[in-house]
Amino acid sequence: MTVPGRGFEPATGDGPAAEPGGRQAELRTAYEGLLQIRRLLNGSAGASVPAPWEVRQLPRAVALVLEAAGIAPSAVDAQGRRTRTGYRVVEGADPGRAEVTWLGPAGGGAAGEEQERLTACAAVLERLGWVCLLYRGPRRRRFLEVEPPSGPRPSGGPG
């Protein structure tokens, strides 16, 4: 989805299910833009670490990477009920972190596949320089905490 003044909005897992194939061109363009910004701003680190704007918009950047990797986002209907199983990305409990969960419709089996699916999400994110830790939270449900790598960071970039 393109939002006026904001550009492409990656699926966070809290919106309606997207039309099949309807977002692919926009998604590809947004993801290639993310990699190009990394190459331009990160010096010798290139595309291997998040750019400063990604860190400032962490849930959005994480959702873009997951969606571009072909991992399905969860979806909700107009009443807020889960209609599709997939990832959900939100701000983390601590500043500078995002949280990824694996959710689906009630009785749909999302809890049984969350460890495998979140591990797959972590693998995708770690290839692009994010630090991921898998935790068990309330009701013994797993979640992935995502944060930028520690150490010196390049400065600047679009915000």
- Is the pLDDT score of 2 beyond 50? no
- Is the pLDDT score of 121 beyond 70? yes
What residues does each domain of the chain span?
12-147
- Percent of the residues in the chain that have a pLDDT greater than 70, as a whole number: 89
Split at pLDDT 50, 70, 90, the class of 155 is very low
pTM value surpassing 0.95: no
For residue range 5-64, what is the model confidence (pLDDT) as tens digits? Answer: 457 899 999 999 877 667 899 999 999 999 999 999 988 888 899 999 899 999 999 999
Q: Are the beta carbons of 87 and 132 closer than 8 angstroms? A: no
Per the prediction, the chain carries an average pLDDT of 89
Q: Which residue has tokens 């915000």? A: 159
SS3 assignment for 31-47: HHHHHHHHHHHCHHHHH
Overall average pLDDT of the 63-80 stretch: 96
- Is the pLDDT score of 143 beyond 70? yes
Of 156 and 65, the structure prediction assigns the larger pLDDT to: 65
Q: What angle do CA 132, 128, 36 make, to 5 degrees?
A: 145
pLDDT value of residue 153: 43
Instruction: Provide the β-strand partners of residue 145.
Output: 99, 133
